[in-house]
Structure 1
Amino acid sequence: MHPKTQEILKTFEEINKIPRRSKNEEKLALWLLEWAKKHNLEAKTDALNNVLIKVPATPGYENSPIIVLQGHMDMVCEKCRESEHDFSKDPVRCVSEGDWLRGDGTSIGADNGIALAIGLVLADAGIKGEIEHPPLELLFTVDEETGLTGASGLGEDFFEGRILLNLDSEDEGIFIVGCAGGKNSKVALPVEWEPFDYGKESGLVLFRVSVEGLEGGHSGTEIHRQRANAIQLLARSLVNLKENAGKDNLRLAFFSGGSVHNAIPNYAEAFVALPRRMEEQAQDFVSELQKTLRGEYSVSDPEIAFQLKEVENRVIFEASGGKVIKKEVPSDRVFSAGTEEKLLGLLLGMPHGVHRISDTISGLVETSNNLAVVRTDDNEVKIVSSQRSSVMSRLAEVTGKVETVAKLAGARVEHECGYPAWEPDLHSGLLKKCKQTYAGTFGKEPEIKVVHAGLECGVIGSKCECIEMISFGPTIKDPHSPAERVFIPSIEKVWVFLENLLKSYR
């Protein structure tokens, strides 16, 4: 293993000791400022906790252009259902498996903590005289994962460089030169309740219906894999179960699924009232439905698991942005028949998945939607939908579809401001230099791509004139999920390329 790879991994593990879910990066920002102080480097932060560390040029590079190395501090906090990890306080544990580094039942935060680690090790190596480089600015932003708000809030003069290397790409050997824009929509369906009597006299029992074992994943980079959406599978199963049991025999009392806007939901659950006498029939039906869906998703989600269990206690735990919220489901009410029909129809009718493939870039998902989160409150069911597109007019189109479906169900809709697409410049001088350096280093041409994910380059580029940008990074698989892992040998390749690229600016 390259010695710098070891340093990067060690620094990454130090970063992972600090809780850093989106909108809670204060401790990491303070740690970065302290790191800069210990290394006698100028550093500053802004009101949002974005951090900039300035690294002087090594001898002979004083007149070279300033290079900005950019990444984000926050991570998507996802975990397996059985994990007891608390992202608000527990360090993220790294586990080595051959050439891969993964989390211990959790997302590992390589997206994008590995960028921070690379930048810090690079600065340290320059200070020690181990590498040569131009003046550097390490730009570390907050809250990328929930809407790129850190980048959106950057002041125009917060950094000086006009050559930016974004280290938030996830396939080594691929240079990203463009990305999708995005917008989130918040849907609120008013709830009408009916009193309901559970227990011996009514013969009705409260059951938990759940779907789990799905792959989930990043709603941008993984959406083309057509993985199952737990929310829509559960809605579908409830409609089918209701038809099998008789619509008056099954009543819905609660629905929850998903955790964050940019992860494909891999778990959902509902509480239903069902006569005790129908339990065996319902169990048989759920078992058959599981077989059917495992057949449908045999490639993308072969471990789909449906369960129907009597509720022993009404406590549920809902994950949201790394927080786990304990909630007790009331035992004396169910949705009205009208609310139930509207909710299930809304969830089944909501767009999800690939909406359109690009006409100009082969294989690129142009427009998509992720039905991301459902939560039941006392007065309404709240739904989060996340739209992406590299064509802003089509982003508006799919957002309009979400609004139309919601309004047909009688729900309110609010749209967040969103973020712009990053339009590719295939004639960029930076791209030319990166291609030449990569080919000269590894003896082969890099691949040039536009991605469906949202990158901060789009936001930064919209704020700064005459800036050249490119995105690259080590290989990371299944980001935004408990299966997230980073390919260790790819870190060395990124380091060697970056070292040669910076050296070329003399």
Structure 2
Amino acid sequence: MEKVTNTIIETFEVISAIPRCSKNEAKLAAWLMDWAREHGYPFRSDEAGNLVIQVPASPGMDGKPTVILQGHMDMVCEKTPESAHDFERDPIRVLCDGDWIHADGTTLGADNGIALAMALVLVEDDAVRHPPLELLFTVDEESGLIGAHKLDASLITGLILINIDSEDEGVFTIGCAGGEETLIRLPLAYEDRPDGWDCGRVVVGGLRGGHSGVDIHKPRANANRLLGRLLLRLQETPDVRLVSLAGGSAHNAIPRDASAWVAFPPAQAAAVRDAVKGCEQHLLEEHADTESNLCVHFEAVKDTLPDHVLRPESALQAVRLLNALPHGVHGMSTRVAGLVETSCNLAIVRIKEDALDIISSQRSSAMSRLDEMTERVTAVAALAGASATRMNHHPAWAPDMQAALLKRCREVYGSLYDKEPVVEVIHAGLECGLIGDKVPGMEMISIGPNLRHPHSPDEKLNVPSVGRVYQFLAALLASF
């Protein structure tokens, strides 16, 4: 098993050498097509770029039902502030630390590159007996399940799907939350920066971040929220004008870093520093037990000074909107103990030209509550004079405890490890909900090796766990 595990990791490293941020999966797709050609497997893709590779059954497995192995090609591209990594060109550098692998100052991309690696190695492994397979590799999952939204369902024929995008070995996921994003746009008004005024940059950083579906219930700070509080404090300081702000990088990542530019007369420099310092002390006290690397600081800017600043009333409107928008858990399930039912992630904030753009990401396992949460975000935006556009809606995946696939998975797992697996419904979004909506009657389950801190530079993958999940997957396929 160790030899096969090493092969999987080596294949993952090859995949990791190919840049594949969301919406930039073409090079990886081309590599996968070349792999299919080399092995003589037919493949098809749709207009969105989703790819299906058809693999014939092992000898003696003809006539068995077709099984779909599914993962996504893209990854969340996050890095530490000091990292010089270029996600459009540079390979991900995979480092080993005992039983774990991680990247060098960036996300690792095991979410979901490890699924692709396991599927390819499984097909090449002559020791594995499997029914006809369809390897379904989707695009743009991390931007809001876009590839699954646009999937041409005629690409696939199977009605049994194994999604390899879960993050805990020995856990079978059979349901997930639905989701939706809201793009909020607030028009801004500017005026000329007064002659002789200085500029500075206020920075909130060093937060743990995390996956907004997996970690939203944990006591983790949101950099956009903290920056909003800091800017509200600065609005109380006379003659301080907001120039720009930016925070967050992905709809499904809890923001780790955020910053803003401000302008002020030289006589107010000390007051600005004092306001930032005072806010820093409060935030450090509040998050001392959960955000040990939290950093709040002020940087003077001498070069490339902006020509314009926001009008005071426009800046106050923007900062109040940032502080009023919801973030975090808004309801726990009354049916599944410990499950977050409804949540909201204040994901991305950017001042672009003459508007403040904000992306809020809502999730819920109850579609009526999802609609309620989205309407609340829309209402806050309207009160601030901003527009709100709903987008990337995807349905929840309803669990079926009596499904034949779940029964088979439990039996195979029990025979291998002499214990029961954990069966769960999660708050994160999976492509299963959309695929099942497109293909009625599809039986689905989601599995995966132990993966920690996805969507952040702290992401790491447990190597022995990869081998054990592969062993289970091979046994499951042989059982059909």
Interval containing the TM-score (normalised by the shorter chain)? over 0.9
Amino acid at match of 1:165: I
The equivalences for 1:185-204 within 5 A come to 185-199=182-196, 204=197
Name which of structure 1's ranges 258-267 and 286-295 shifts more when overlaid on structure 2.
286-295
Amino acid at match of 1:276: P
Q: CA deviation at 1:353?
A: 0.6
* Aligned counterpart, 1:157: 154
SS in 2 for 1:273: strand
CA distance in 2, matches of 1:195, 1:496: 65
The equivalences for 1:421-460 within 5 A come to 421-460=396-435
* Aligned counterpart, 2:457: 482
* Aligned counterpart, 1:322: none
SS in 2 for 1:223: coil
* Aligned counterpart, 2:110: 110
CA distance in 1, matches of 2:442, 2:321: 43
Q: CA deviation at 1:313?
A: 3.0
- Is 1:139 aligned to 2:114, yes or no? no
CA distance in 2, matches of 1:301, 1:347: 21
Q: CA deviation at 1:306?
A: 0.6
Q: CA deviation at 1:178?
A: 0.4
* Aligned counterpart, 1:89: 89
* Aligned counterpart, 2:294: 304
Deviation readout 1:137-157 (Å, 9 max, x if unpaired): 111111111121211222232
SS in 2 for 1:259: coil
* Aligned counterpart, 1:361: 336
The equivalences for 1:253-292 within 5 A come to 253-292=243-282
CA contact (8 A) 1:290 1:304 kept: no
Q: CA deviation at 1:285?
A: 3.9
Deviation readout 1:446-504 (Å, 9 max, x if unpaired): 11111111100000000112110000001111111111111111101101111111111
Q: CA deviation at 1:235?
A: 1.1
* Aligned counterpart, 2:470: 495
List runs of 5+ in structure 2 lacking aligned partners.
none
CA contact (8 A) 1:198 1:332 kept: no
CA contact (8 A) 1:225 1:300 kept: no
* Aligned counterpart, 1:211: 204
CA distance in 1, matches of 2:165, 2:446: 6
Q: CA deviation at 1:35?
A: 0.2
* Aligned counterpart, 2:25: 25
SS in 1 for 2:393: coil
List runs of 5+ in structure 1 lacking aligned partners.
315-329
CA distance in 2, matches of 1:236, 1:35: 51
CA distance in 2, matches of 1:69, 1:389: 26
Please report the TM-score for the alignment, with normalisation by the length of structure 2.
0.97
Q: CA deviation at 1:312?
A: 3.0
CA contact (8 A) 1:67 1:163 kept: yes
Name which of structure 1's ranges 393-402 and 45-54 shifts more when overlaid on structure 2.
45-54
Q: CA deviation at 1:298?
A: 2.4
CA distance 1:192–1:234, change in 2 (3 Å): same
Deviation readout 1:251-290 (Å, 9 max, x if unpaired): 1111111111111111111111233334334434433432
Name which of structure 1's ranges 70-79 and 294-303 shifts more when overlaid on structure 2.
294-303
CA contact (8 A) 1:232 1:347 kept: yes
Deviation readout 1:80-123 (Å, 9 max, x if unpaired): 11111111111111011111111110001100000000000000
* Aligned counterpart, 1:241: 234
Name which of structure 1's ranges 56-65 and 207-216 shifts more when overlaid on structure 2.
56-65
CA distance in 2, matches of 1:267, 1:470: 35
CA distance in 1, matches of 2:422, 2:281: 40
- Is 1:469 aligned to 2:462, yes or no? no
Deviation readout 1:174-212 (Å, 9 max, x if unpaired): 11000011111111100011222242xxxx321111100
The equivalences for 1:27-106 within 5 A come to 27-106=27-106
Amino acid at match of 1:37: R
Aligned length: 480
Amino acid at match of 2:42: E
SS in 1 for 2:75: coil
CA distance in 1, matches of 2:365, 2:147: 21
* Aligned counterpart, 1:171: 168
CA distance in 1, matches of 2:149, 2:244: 36
- Alignment partner of 1:221 out of 203, 214, 220: 214
* Aligned counterpart, 2:303: 313
The equivalences for 1:367-446 within 5 A come to 367-446=342-421
SS in 1 for 2:217: helix
SS in 2 for 1:444: coil
SS in 1 for 2:409: helix
* Aligned counterpart, 1:321: none
Amino acid at match of 1:296: E
Q: CA deviation at 1:59?
A: 1.6
CA distance in 1, matches of 2:25, 2:306: 38
Name which of structure 1's ranges 115-124 and 366-375 shifts more when overlaid on structure 2.
366-375
CA contact (8 A) 2:144 2:251 kept: no
The equivalences for 1:6-25 within 5 A come to 6-25=6-25
CA distance in 1, matches of 2:368, 2:467: 40
Q: CA deviation at 1:232?
A: 1.1
CA distance in 2, matches of 1:73, 1:195: 46
SS in 2 for 1:35: helix
CA distance in 1, matches of 2:269, 2:414: 64
Q: CA deviation at 1:434?
A: 0.5
SS in 1 for 2:267: helix
* Aligned counterpart, 1:317: none
CA contact (8 A) 1:57 1:133 kept: yes
Deviation readout 1:125-145 (Å, 9 max, x if unpaired): 1xxx32211111111111111
CA contact (8 A) 2:146 2:392 kept: no
CA distance in 1, matches of 2:121, 2:393: 33
CA distance in 2, matches of 1:41, 1:300: 50
CA distance in 2, matches of 1:478, 1:61: 39
- Alignment partner of 2:240 out of 245, 250, 266: 250
* Aligned counterpart, 1:148: 145
Deviation readout 1:32-74 (Å, 9 max, x if unpaired): 0100111121222222221111111112211211111000000
Q: Quote the RMSD (CA, aligned, Å).
A: 1.3
